[in-house]
Amino acid sequence: MTIGVYPGSFDPFTVGHLDVLTNAAGLFDLVYVAVLHNVDKRPAFTIEERMEMIQNVLTAEHFSNVRCGTFDGLLVEYARSVRATHIVRGLRATSDFEYEFQIDAVNRHLDSTLRTVYFMASPGHSFLSSSNVKEIGLWGGSIQGLVPAVNEERIRERLAKK
What are the residues binding ligand PNS (CB under 6 A)? 7-9, 36, 74-75, 103, 106-107
The least distance separating ligand PNS from the CB of residue 36, rounded to whole angstroms, comes to 4
Round to the nearest angstrom and report the end-to-end CA distance of the chain: 44
- Tell me how far CA of residue 55 lies from CA of 1, 50, 61, 91, in angstroms: 23, 9, 10, 23
Nearer to ligand PNS, 99 or 160 (CB): 99
Residues marked as catalytic: 17, 41, 92, 130
Nearer to ligand PNS, 56 or 70 (CB): 70
Least spacing, CB of residue 120 vs ligand PNS, in Å: 16
Q: Which is nearer to ligand PNS, 64 or 98 (CB)?
A: 98
- Which of 75, 101, 73, 71 lies closest to 87, judged by CA? 75
Give the nearest distance from C-beta 5 to ligand PNS in angstroms.
Answer: 9
b/e per residue 5-30 (b: at least 16 CB within 10 A): bbbbbbbbbbbbbbbbbebbbeebeb
Amino acid code (one letter) for 19: D
Compute the residue count for the chain.
162
